[in-house]
Amino acid sequence: MSTTDAPVFYYDFNSPYAYLAATRVDEVLPGPVRWQPIAFAFVLVARQRTPWSMHDDTRGPGVADCERRASAYGLPPMRWPPGWPVESHSITPLRAALVADEHGLLRQFSRAAFARNFVSGEGLTRPEDVLAVSAEAGLAEADVRDGVQSPRIKEALKAATDEAIELGIYGVPTVAVGAELFWGDDQLEAAAAAAGAP
């Protein structure tokens, strides 16, 4: 399977289910997977909806479900970033992820960013948070500082998000296998089957 035909993993660092999926997606799906960060807040606006994390009656059960899954996957206990979900969202780490992609370090950056949000619980909203993750991934500070302000990077994130919306993505994480969309950490196995896993 060529990289152009590979399944695409759409995610945002503020999603705990995307964090959970990111720990498994490369192992569950056959062959190469293309990772694609998108700005989930704009997906929500386009779909005119609010997620489970913003409703008092579903936030607690959702958090408990994420923590159960992390335990079942053998992951560290989950911690939650300050002000999650509203105050913990930032577009800057998503732009920094695209800078990392230009340097061949997208997975390294993304895994470190997810860990800062949901393992250490330190969050990603401050510049020093993004720079700490960037350093962990092996990115030069100057490249990140310049890149996150670059019109090229800003437009690339907007284009990726717009493309996801046009594709029909409703939430994150989503894996696209051709025209089929599989939304949710619990849909990775179904995505793998669609991608031809034995």
pLDDT digits 0-9 by tens, 141-170: 999 999 999 999 999 999 999 999 999 999
| Alpha carbon distances (Å) from 20 to 25, 31, 176 | 9, 20, 17
pLDDT digits 0-9 by tens, 42-101: 999 999 999 999 999 999 999 999 999 999 999 999 999 999 999 999 999 999 999 999
Q: How many domains is the chain built from?
A: 1
Rounded Cα distance between 70 and 16, Å, is: 10
CATH number at residue 109: 3.40.30.10
Range of the domain at 140: 3-194
What mean pLDDT, rounded, does the chain reach? 96
Whole-model pTM: value is 0.95
Position 4 scores a pLDDT of: 60
Q: Could you tell me which residues are beta bridge partners of residue 176?
A: 8, 181
